[in-house]
Structures are given as structure tokens and as C-alpha cells.
Amino acid sequence: MSTLQPVRGTDDILPDVKRAHRRVEEEARAVAARYGYAEVATPILEFTEVFARTLGDTSDIVTKEMYTFVDRGGDSLTLRPENTAGVARAFISNGLHHDLPLKVFYSGPMFRREHSQLGRRRQFHQVGVELLGVAEPLADVEVIAMAAGLIDALGLADRVVCEINTLGDGASRDAYRETLVAYLSAPEVKGRLSPDSLERLDRNPLRILDSKDDRDREVVAAAPQMGDSLNAESRDYFDAVLAGLEAAGVAFRRNPHLVRGLDYYCHTAFEFTTDALGAQGTVLAGGRYDGLIAQMGGPATPGTGWAAGIERLAMLIAPPPAPRPIAVVPVGADQAMDALVWTQRLRHAGFAVDLGFSGNLKKRLKRANKINACAAVLLGEDELARGQARVRDLDSGDQTDVALDGLEAHLARYNVDDHG
Ligand code: ATP
Ligand code: MG
């Protein structure tokens, strides 16, 4: 029955995968903190306007991917497909323009009605950063260095590359759009475009550069490049970003065909990609969006930032091992209360402790092995009478009788502060 399945493109994230997600999220949070970015959370639900007005009415997200509905009060609401527009909206709503630069980090679920496949989900999760109020190239350098820091912290530096391009300023982009349309409109070129791209040719030709269709990719490979249409200011800007990245020791590869799928981007555009995930190879993407806040009706404020897909990064890392608890085991039914008391005492002291709910000694030890406990604390009548517990190391099988008042100190060798 379909109602017993999760909605297509959404996932039950079970413990092994959730641990990997959490590792990605926590490495990102830690990197963001080192760069002085404060965590924020904006609502998952926003007025549809927030996205419709900013992502551009020709973007894939707005034309076909948004989960939009009219709520009982008659408002059109949308489950956020990304978080930059939400942060920009929050920036305006809360009058944060007195407090620039604003550096924020976020993490949470996003929703897009995509063709679902591995690494492309309808509910997925992103971590991301936004830096508002800085027009200097150094801002792009900082957010890109931070992204590289995350990739590095996850141990992915040799499998993920930073690709970078510039879209130039508005004037450069207009000039390029004309050049590109002229090239793509020649009959022998136009005839080779995919149907989707034929449509984009009128509405949003730059998006054709981003097409994943092989027919378009061939055409694009021979297209005139953005770089040739850049005015001097845009070129200087990009050169400064590249020089900054070099100075900061961030490796990158220039990709003249890289464009971003949303309309609010200008100047720097970048993606961190891998060939380990097939067609879903972009794990992190971002760029500069100087026009966004003004377009939403706020005070003109430059911005730059990125978002990374938690699912895609999580697929690349080795699954973090499950934490290993200590099992407290009453040897007989009479020791059940002592076991509960000691379990709670050890938990309060910070140990991860499992206490079985029922069963004899044999069954409880079996369970201790099944949950991969590192040690079992056996509480038997005789030991307790002597003020002792028997601690069995479940890897070596060694047993030691330990005085109860020294139990915590003895178990410290097993304690892992991060109980993951
Ligand atoms: P793609 O080109 O793969 O469609 P995008 O340009 O739509 O990506 P962004 O909007 O820039 O992606 O989002 C940033 C990152 O979020 C992506 O690089 C990717 O890692 C992740 N992401 C985007 N859409 C999805 C999705 N539907 N499922 C899983 N991860 C996603
Ligand atoms: Mg997409």
C-alpha cells in the first residue's frame, strides 16, 4: 500500500545513515564557527513570493520543483527549496542591515519536486553559509576557503575539486547573453539543441550552459565563453578572487562553462564536484548574489555564500561507527534494582550504558554482544556483598573484580565523550 511507504523522494534516515549526516553537519558547523559564522534557522515554510520573486520565474525550481499550497487562511505557502532566499527575507524582516557584515550558517531540510534518484531527493538536507554586506572579492575567497575547509575536514580533499567561474556584472552578462544567443540561434546549432534548451533560448539562454543533456553539452563545448565578454571591472574582480584563493592555499580549477541555476547570481560562481557520484556529482555550490536583497525589496546589500548537499557528502565518507555502550548485567533477578541504580549512576557520570529489560544472564550477555558493547558490568550477589562488580572486557574476554567505589575510574578507559 502506497500509504505505508514514505512519499517518493523522501527517506527514513536510519541510524547508520543518520550518523553520517550528523558528521557532515557537525564538521560544517565546526568549520563555520572557526570562521565566525553564527548559526541561524529560518522557517521551512515561507510565503511563495519569497522564492518566486527571487529565484527567477524561469528557474527550474520555480517553474516545476516547488511544493506550493494554499493554506486555510488563503495564503500561498511553499516548503523552502533552498535557504538563501529565506536568510535574505529574514535579513530584511529583522532589519539586520545595521549590523554588517552578517555571517550566518544554517542546516536543515529543503524540498524540491525533482525526478528522484540516488543523491537527488525531494526532501534533502543542506548545510550552508551566507555572508551579507561585503562587496569585496575577499568575501568570496572567505566562503570558498570555508567550503574547502569542510571538504578537507571530511577527508575528501583528494576526491572533490573546486570549480570556479565568473558570471561578471550585469553589463558583462548582458553582452555575453547576446553573443551566446547569436551563436545558439544559427540554424545548424539550434537544430542540435534539446527541446528544453530550445525553450531556454528565449527565456533564459545562460541556463543552457548548465544543461545535463548530452546534445546540449556538445553544443556548449564549442560556444563562445563568458570570459571574452567580461568588462574590465568584472575581470579585475575575478582576478582578485583567484589571487585570494591562491594566497589562501585553496586549490581550484577554472571552468568557463560553469553557471548557477538561479537568476540572482553575479560574478563568482563555484561548485565542488566529484566523479564518485555519477550525475549527482556536485556536492556543494554557491556564488555571489549582489542583487538579491534589493530584488526582495530590502536595502541594496551584496551577498555571497554556498550550500552543500548533506546526502551527497554523507555518501562519500566512511560511515562513522556506532558508539559502543557499556552493558550493565544483573547476574540474577535479585540484582535487578542494583543494576538499575548502577546504570543510572554511570549514565549520570557520562557513560553510554545499556540495561536490558529482561532475560537471564546468558540472554543479557548475548544482547551485550549484539549491541557491540565494549564491556559488561556484572552485578552478582557475592560480588555486591563484597562491594564489588565484575567487569568483563567484551573484546578480550578478560574479567576483573573492581571495587564499586572505583567503578567509574575503572570504566573510564571505555568512555568515549562523543556518544555520537
Ligand atoms: P544540481 O545541479 O545537482 O541539480 P543544484 O544546482 O540544483 O544542483 P543547488 O541549488 O546549488 O543545487 O544546491 C546546492 C547543493 O545541494 C547541490 O550541490 C547538491 O549537493 C544539493 N542538492 C540540490 N538539490 C538536491 C536534491 N534534490 N537532492 C539532494 N541534494 C541536492
Ligand atoms: Mg537542481
User: Which atom number of ligand 1 is nearest to the Cα of residue 212?
Assistant: 2
| Stretch among 52-61, 190-199, 340-349 having the lowest mean pLDDT | 52-61
158 contacts: CB under 8 Å, gap ≥ 6: none
- How many CB atoms within 10 Å of residue 202? 10
Query: Which residues 6+ apart lie within 8 Å of 371 measured at CB?
Result: 325, 327, 354
| Ligand 1 pocket by Cβ (under 6 Å) | 82, 112, 114, 119-121, 124, 126, 261, 280, 282-285, 307-309, 311-312
* Phi, psi for residue 44 in degrees, rounded to 5: -70, -30
Please give the number of the atom of ligand 1 that sits closest to the Cα of 114.
27
pLDDT band at 58 (very low <50, low <70, confident <90, very high): low
Nearest ligand 1 atom to the CA of 81 is 10
In one-letter notation, the amino acid at residue 65 is E
Is the pLDDT at 419 greater than 50? The verdict is: no
pLDDT confidence bin for 243, thresholds 50/70/90: very high
Q: What pLDDT does 53 receive?
A: 80
Ligand sitting nearest the alpha carbon of 261: 1
Measure 307 CA to ligand 2 centroid, in angstroms: 12
Q: How many A from CA of 108 to the centre of ligand 1?
A: 14
- 185: CA distance to ligand 2 center in Å? 26
Nearest atom of ligand 1 to the alpha carbon of 308: 15
Ligand 2 centre distance from Cα of residue 358 (Å): 50
Q: What is the mean pLDDT of the chain?
A: 93
Condensed to tens digits (0 to 9), the pLDDT of residues 136-185 reads 999 999 999 999 999 999 999 999 999 999 999 989 988 998 999 999 99
The pLDDT, as a whole number, for residue 73 is 96
Tell me the mean pLDDT in the region 281-307: 95
Which of 41-50, 171-180, 280-289, 299-308 shows the lowest mean pLDDT across its residues?
A: 171-180
Of the listed ligands, the closest to the CA of 279 is 1
Give, as one character, the DSSP assignment of residue 259: -
Q: In this predicted structure, which of 143-147, 317-321, 363-367 has the lowest mean pLDDT?
A: 317-321
Q: pLDDT confidence of 211, banded at 50, 70, 90? A: confident
8 A C-beta contact, residue 314 and residue 294: no
Which atom of ligand 1 has the smallest separation from the CA of 116? Answer: 27
Average pLDDT over residues 197-210: 86
Q: Which residue's CA is the nearest one to ligand 1's atom 29?
A: 120
* Ligand lying nearest the CA atom of residue 210: 1
Task: State the distance from the centre of ligand 1 to the C-alpha of 379, rounded, in angstroms.
Answer: 53
Residue nearest to atom 9 of ligand 1 (CA): 285
Summarize the confidence of residues 300-308 as an average pLDDT. 97
Distance CA 97, CA 277 (A): 40
Residue nearest to atom 23 of ligand 1 (CA): 309
Lowest-confidence region among 204-208, 345-349, 352-356: 204-208
Q: Looking at ligand 1, which atom is closest to the CA of residue 284?
A: 18
- In the chain, what are the domains? 15-169+231-315 (3.30.930.10), 326-414 (3.40.50.800)
User: Helix or strand or coil: residue 243?
Assistant: helix
Residue 417 corresponds to which cell in the numbers above? 565523550
| Residues 58-80: b if buried by 16+ CB within 10 A, e if exposed | ebbbbeebbeeeeeeeeeebbbb
Model confidence at 259, in pLDDT bands (50, 70, 90)? confident
CB neighbours of 30 closer than 8 A, spacing ≥ 6?
A: 153
Asked if residue 418 has pLDDT above 60, the reply is no
Write the residue with the smallest CA distance to atom 19 of ligand 1: 309
Residues 370-408 have pLDDT tens digits of 999 999 999 999 999 999 999 999 999 999 999 999 999
Q: Give 226-236 pLDDT, tens digit per residue.
A: 888 999 999 99
Nearest CA to ligand 1 atom 28: 120
pLDDT at residue 417 tops 70: no
- Which residues make Cβ contacts (< 8 Å) with residue 254, sequence separation at least 6? 163, 164, 165, 242
Nearest CA to ligand 1 atom 2: 282
- Of 282, 288, 312, which is best to mutate to test ligand 1, by the most ligand atoms within 8 angstroms of its C-beta? 282
83, 124, 257, best to mutate for ligand 1 pocket (most atoms within 8 Å of CB): 124
- pLDDT confidence band for 420 (50 / 70 / 90): very low
Atom of ligand 1 nearest to the CA of 281: 3
Ligand 2 centroid, distance to 295 Cα (angstroms): 22
Per-residue pLDDT, averaged over 244-262, amounts to 91
Q: Whole-prediction pTM value?
A: 0.93
From the CA of 417, how far away is ligand 2's center (Å)? 39
Q: Give the Å distance between the CA of 317 and the centre of ligand 1.
A: 18
